[in-house]
Amino acid sequence: MLELRNLTVHYGQKRVVDDVDLALAPGRTLGLAGESGSGKSTVAMSVLRLLPRTARVDGQVLLDGEDVRTMSWGRLRAVRWASASVVFQGAMHALNPVRRVGEQIAEPMRLHGTPGSVAELLEQVELPRHKARAYPHELSGGQKQRVMIAMALACGPRLVIADEPTTALDVVVQAQVLALMTRLVAERDLALLMISHDLSVLAQTCEDLAVMQHGRLVERGRTREVVANPRHPHTAALTAAFPVIGDRRHRWAEPRPAPEPLLRVRDLVVDYGRTRAVDGVDLTVGHGEVVALVGQSGSGKTTLARTIMGLRRPSSGRVIFDGAEVPRGGRALKAFRRQVQLVLQDPSSALNPRHTVFEAVAEGLRVHGLREDEEALVTAAVERAELRPASLYLRSLPHELSGGQQQRVVIAGALVLRPRLLVADEPVASLDASVRGEVVALLLRLRRELGLASLLITHDLGLAWQIADRVAVMHQGNIVEQGPAEEVLLTPAHDYTRALLAAVPVLGPPATG
Amino acid sequence: MSSKFLTHRTGVAGAAVLAVAAVVAVVAPLLIDPGSLDVTRVTAAAWQAPDARHWLGTDHTGRSVALLLAQGAGTSLFVGLTAAVLAVGIGTAVGVVSGHFGGLPAGVLLRVTDFFLVLPALVLAIALSTVLPRGLGTIILAIGLTSWPSTARMVRAQTLTIEARPFVERARALGGGHAHVIARHVLPSVVPLVLVNATLAVASAIVAESTLAFLGLGDPARISWGAMLHQAQLHGAVPQGAWWFLLPPGLAIVAVVLAFTLVGRALEAVVTPKR
């Protein structure tokens, strides 16, 4: 069906894909794993010749025995979507915001003159027919991804390429989308090439697995065997990076006695206009304690965090920090913000692209008028965040650093004010597997060495298992369950917690029973 | 950034024209003998065609058009630059404030912006320069007050984009107030855009100045390119067939305005990040 022979891709002088051989038979599923920059997306896009003009492609890309590289423009257009289609990464950006999704699904059918009905396609992806009239912004992330899948199936292709189809979706929706794709592949006898940085996602959906690193294929084989006995160290690192809930080796937080409360939230209510985002929440974070606040997107966990930081005003209820209510404004609020710091999800956007590392880290000091020893304090904070030696990084601009390094800069910027509580919103969600572990370890080390308490906002239950002392589960603005991490994650009491846990993808063969 | 600018050949050409105009504007008043521009002291005959002594001929009073042209460069450039700075300054302030604070102040500012935006700028400028005492200051004020709304709109849009970025939220969480966010995050990212806008605004301000002067609303005591056109029209350069009094100031305006526009476009291409 699809065969890549000695595929090599250059961007200018840079070789991004190096001599890759892959084959995919009809009706088979192949997972392509790798970190950002490993060249996995480039491989996928080369199949339909969707690479930018600056790319130089060598080798052969055979689709049904025909080389895509030498196809005429007309032939290529006919092949695109009719023989092979793509589910693009980031459904929110891949749909046209000003057109109804039904029209967008129908577009490839019209172009190729394929008979078929949008309603039927929507049914196949388990969306009600009337959603065809919806605009993308009226749909949730999972629904948009289903629309993308319906679009990919529109012309009845025999090969579907899915590029990170579930990134940015939370666990529950991710599980639903994966189940849908597995079902469609089986029913329609499709060949599927799925690309992801998340081995556990691929392990659930694909029969075969290929792992890429630095543009090379380092390992391939049956998924089950590759995951169970990785032969290449990079594969081993990838499999080890994803924590298994319940596995003691992956639990890095050491047990400790219940500390005195540092932050107490009492009966907090936050409204957005008429929508109630947070509905009467009680939450406590002790001195030096790591509390994970888990829940799906839209559960109100981010709003709760913003309110704790004093970035939003609560409609009612109280936030008490160190025995005193959090001030609502003025000098007192500014002083409070020295004590509580925020670490955002996406470090590349949390840093001003025009500021050097030094300026970004010193920003907090300057805001609070702490001019003395600026250089020494910044250096110390940067080294605390494990960017050593600091002098190597201080003059760099954010775009010169990797994602992990950027996140360390954000953490250093928080540390420089010597806070007592860190509010981290998905601190590792946008990081590669190998970097993720290091940043998680850093957060734990800060707790141990500085007694820094953290409120960790995440939909990643594995992360909660790794480092949280206590876990609070949030659902539709309420905290439905909270308690010690072992208790909540191993013997969940609430149905919703059980549903969340059941949706977490696991490495290895799909668990039975 | 400067090396990138050099790759835009039209921009470099524009910059060269501007450099020449600036040198002329600065040097001319120092070199030209005031007597040669004084109507009572000139010796040449009126309406002389260009010859070796008067490169561009003479006007209705016998003054050399070439000298008038050099002398007028300063006024035109000065009015153009100061009016543009005034317009861009007002526009930036209104744009940043309405973008940053939102709510009621933004609503009020935006309605005011809309008011000035729909008002025909030339009519307003004419009205202003009729009411206010005649002089350079009035012209600058009239142009500045009528050409800021587009800058304000653009700066507001850019401010809103920057304010939505997570690094602004991070700055707030660090304890940064309005002054901090505006000075450290909003302004630095607005400035490149404002610079581009200012260059383009100078071009239109020069045209506006020429228009007002041509209509006889300029400072009668000063020589500017627009005022020369006004004189030419008033004293019948066309029936005289004195093309040398009409064309040079007109072409000078076209050249300088084109140069500013070319530089502005080139700057725009340099500061706008490619996607």
Give buried/exposed letters for A447-483 (b at 16+ CB in 10 A, else e): beeeebbbbbbbbbbbbbbbbbbbbbbbbebbbbbbe
Q: What percent of chain A has pLDDT over 70?
A: 98
Q: CB B167 to CB A349 under 8 A?
A: yes
pLDDT digits 0-9 by tens, A120-154: 999 888 889 998 999 988 888 888 888 999 999 88
pLDDT digits 0-9 by tens, A438-484: 888 888 888 888 889 999 998 888 888 888 999 999 998 899 999 89
Asked, colleague to colleague, whether A2-241 and A249-503 share their fold, the answer is yes
Average pLDDT over residues A34-58: 86
pLDDT score of B275: 40
Q: CB A367 to CB B176 under 8 A?
A: yes
Q: CB A337 to CB B171 under 8 A?
A: no
The model's confidence at residue B186, banded by pLDDT at 50, 70 and 90, is very high
ipTM over 0.85: no
Average pLDDT over residues A350-373: 89
* Architecture of the domain delimited by A2-241: 3-Layer(aba) Sandwich (3.40)
Q: Is B121 a residue whose pLDDT tops 80?
A: no
Q: CB B170 to CB A367 under 8 A?
A: no
What is A249-503's CATH number? 3.40.50.300
Domain span holding position B119: 2-33+46-271
pLDDT digits 0-9 by tens, A305-359: 888 888 888 899 889 998 888 887 778 888 888 889 989 888 888 899 889 999 9
Residue B39 covered by a domain = no
In whole angstroms, give the CA distance from residue A159 to residue A82: 9
Residue B125 covered by a domain = yes
- pTM of the model as a whole: 0.79
The model's confidence at residue B273, banded by pLDDT at 50, 70 and 90, is low
Mutate to test the interface with A, among B1, B162, B170 (most CBs of A within 10 A): B170
For A420, list phi and psi in degrees, rounded to 5.
Answer: -110, -15
Question: What sign results for the dihedral spanned by CA atoms A441, A447, A452, A458?
Answer: positive
pLDDT score of A48: 87
Q: Between A and B, how many residue pairs show a Cβ–Cβ distance under 8 A?
A: 56
What is the per-residue DSSP string for chain B? -HHHHHT-HHHHHHHHHHHHHHHHHHHHHHHS-GGGG-TTT--SPTTPPP-SSSTT-B-TTS-BHHHHHHHHHHHHHHHHHHHHHHHHHHHHHHHHHHHHH-HHHHHHHHHHHHHHHHS-HHHHHHHHHHHSPSSHHHHHHHHHHHS-HHHHHHHHHHHHHHHTSHHHHHHHHTT--HHHIIIIIIHHHHHHHHHHHHHHHHHHHHHHHHHHHHTT-S-TTS--HHHHHHHHHHTTHHHHT-HHHHHHHHHHHHHHHHHHHHHHHHHHHHHSPP-
Residue B40 covered by a domain = no
Question: What sign results for the dihedral spanned by CA atoms B69, B72, B76, B77?
Answer: positive
Mutate to test the interface with B, among A363, A370, A422, A426 (most CBs of B within 10 A): A363
The domain total for chain B is 1
Q: Which of A131-135, A240-244, B125-129 has the highest mean pLDDT?
A: A131-135
Nearest-CB residue to B173 (from A311, A366, A368) = A311
Residue B58 covered by a domain = yes
pLDDT digits 0-9 by tens, B62-114: 888 888 888 889 888 999 999 999 999 999 999 999 999 988 989 999 999 99
Of residues A236 and A430, more confidently modeled? A236
pLDDT score of A40: 86
pLDDT score of B131: 87
Q: Report how far Cα A312 is from the mean position of its chain's Cα atoms.
A: 25
Q: What percent of chain B has pLDDT over 70?
A: 98
Q: Is B135 a residue whose pLDDT tops 70?
A: yes
pLDDT score of B82: 94
In whole angstroms, give the CA distance from residue A294 to residue A289: 16
β-bridge mates for residue A5, sequence order: A60
Domain residue ranges in chain A:
2-241, 249-503
Residue B172 covered by a domain = yes
Residue of B nearest to A352 (CA): B167
Q: Is A241 a residue whose pLDDT tops 80?
A: no
pLDDT score of A511: 38
Measured between beta carbons, the chain A residues lying within 8 angstroms of B167 are 349-352
Q: Is A199 a residue whose pLDDT tops 90?
A: no
Structure tokens at A498: 């059980």
- Residue B192 Cα, gap to closest chain A Cα (Å): 12
- Residue B245 Cα, gap to closest chain A Cα (Å): 51
